Amino acid sequence: MKKPVKSWLLASTVATLLAAPAISTANSGVEKLTQNPANWATWGGNYAGTRYSELNQINTKNVKTLQPAWSFSTGVLRGHEGGPLVVNDVLYIHTPFPNTVYAIDQATQSVIWEYTPTQDADVTIPVMCCDTVNRGLAYGDGKIFLQQSDTVLTALDAKTGKRIWSVQNGDPKLGMTNTNAPLVVKDKVLTGISGGEFGVRGFLAAYNIRTGALDWKGYSMGPDEDMLINPNKTTTWEDGKVVKVGKNSSLKTWQGDQWKIGGGTTWGWYSYDPELNLVYYGSGNPSTWNPTQRPGDNKWSMTLWARDVDTGEAKWVYQMTPHDEWDFDGINEVALVDQKIGGKMRKTMVHFDRNGFGYTLDRVTGELLVAEKFDKTVNWATHVDMKSGRPQVVDRFSTEFNGEDENTTDVCPAALGSKNQQPVSYSPQTGYFYISANHLCMNYEPFEVSYTAGQPYVGATLTMRPAQGDVLTGKDDGSNNLGQFTAWDATTGKIVWSNKEQFSVWSGSVATAGGIVFYGTLEGYLKAVDAKTGKELYRFKTPSGIIGNVNTWEYKGKQYVGVLSGIGGWAGIGIAAGLDDGSDSTNSEGLGAVGAYRSLSSYTKLGGTLTVFALPGK
């Protein structure tokens, strides 16, 4: 049934603006909350996005006795990405569309309040690529922030669930939607936009947490003033050094006005360094997927960004995949870690891209330090040239030839990437990053497509299959796995160990001081492995496939582990959306993934459940 968006959203936002008290630039309590491991107050557990917990009650010796403590059904049967927030003993969870939010009392496991926004399903769902997922909530200033699918950003009173303000972040009729988890920093809530497959031009926006007023918006491409780029200050990595980007650095790389529908959307995750006052994130693929229709490097799609939180001004940019030909969407999370590289301590940022390369950069300057494959079957490029920062493309796997479309086979990785949105974790005990990963290749057939606002603007069909090679060596070992869980040393760009998984690992992991890393599988298993060796120590089958992020917290002196299960997302779209014909690779939801995962339906079915685990005993 059609549910129109409330016309009073704008009016209520204006009324709140007029009644609002003086704005504080304080941190809204978020940073302090994240310093207490009893909480899980942001998507990444902390501003650095490392997804590491200092809790150690559950450890390598006793995790084998872990058991379900309680569970909660969300009432929604689509893909459940993201994970629970825990703030001052209250647990907050979310659902995919219609984006219901629950506040749960941990003492009784009962609902304190619930909120379901009014959205127009007929307008919004048809323009949601790759399932109707939502990646989570944000907390700050006594509010829960929900980024609705229809682009409305809503602030709720954390104690009562009452709506305080709402603001429209985009227009679904133009193909704009939202799936990202917001991030609260100081007096701002940061959010992006989805819709790269509909010709949407990406941006990162900052709204005032008290009023919902727009503080700034920085686009991914276009004129310098739109991107909040200062050509005389903003820098990039080029010719072996950090250089100023210069005037019109983006416009020069697009033909005519193509940048206006250029993609570069921002539906991933955002990290923040309080000392540098910089927010870090990635921008996605250029539109359309057909590279011959957009000559040039298409800056600044496929780019890592560092922006000043107060002003939005770009400090530096680094483009990972210039003139993307494979939909290697660059939105994956950025983890901020201080590491010793080349004998020198560095403030680094680490990013595992869809293109199959793991990047380590100096997060102060944007200097490129490490760029290596984290899956050795990656074949579209031989390596990243450290001086230019550009990947060295193998002609055989290019999807265009002399400006013409080229049907290309056996490209590795597939468009799902060697890793998609599922966030990594980092353990300071081992110094390793833990990557929930895919292991796929594809055939890619571009075709000419015209732009119509609100209609798919893809321009390619593709099919996917397992990468029939070992992640450590790249050599064919006869395996047929679609995923793996990998430990990585970001100082050297080396794989430490890797566990094969039958299907892609679409769950974000969490590392703990107990020497354990938790993650979930598409079949529905919660797994615990030894952080040093990768040895599996525990598994439990939850009610549905896991594409949510595993989080951990403490309540009344006891450590808990929680995860949302509910099959879906791009890898599980065949089950979630009932797309049982893998041959329809042009479907705006399936986009080529259905066939490779058809057997998944033998292992799991639809669901929507939060399962919470603990050690036995009081």
Q: Which of 152, 146, 177 is nearest to 265 (CA)?
A: 177
Residue 15: pLDDT over 70: no
Point out the catalytic residue in the list 131, 226, 297, 327.
Answer: 327
- Residue 513 CB-half CA count within 13 A: 8
For residue 334, give both structure tokens.
């950025």
- Tens-place pLDDT, residues 514-549: 999 999 999 999 999 999 999 999 999 999 999 999
Q: What is the DSSP string of 475-538?
A: S--S---SEEEEEEETTTTEEEEEEEESS---SPPEEETTSEEEEE-TTSEEEEEETTT--EEE
Q: What CA–CA distance (Å, rounded) separates 62 from 52?
A: 19
Burial of 107 (0-12, 13-18, 19+ CB in 10 A): exposed
Supply the mean pLDDT for the chain: 93
Q: What CA–CA distance (Å, rounded) separates 566 from 81?
A: 8
Domains of the chain with bracketed CATH: 8-20+40-614 (2.140.10.10)
- Tens-place pLDDT, residues 58-115: 999 999 999 999 999 999 999 999 999 999 999 999 999 999 999 999 999 999 999 9
263, 301 in Cβ contact below 8 A?
A: yes
Least confident of 67-76, 240-249, 585-594: 585-594
Q: Is-catalytic flag, 405?
A: no
526, 539 in Cβ contact below 8 A?
A: yes
- Region 405-411: what's the mean pLDDT? 93
Q: How far is CA 150 from CA 97, 118, 167, 212, in A?
A: 9, 10, 11, 16
Identify the sign of the CA torsion 160, 164, 169, 173.
positive
Positions of E strands within 126-227: 138-140, 143-147, 152-157, 163-168, 183-185, 188-191, 203-208, 214-219
- Tens-place pLDDT, residues 24-64: 444 568 999 999 999 999 999 999 999 999 999 999 999 99
Residue 2: pLDDT over 60: no
Query: What is the model's pLDDT at position 122?
Result: 97
Q: What CA–CA distance (Å, rounded) separates 467 from 93?
A: 35
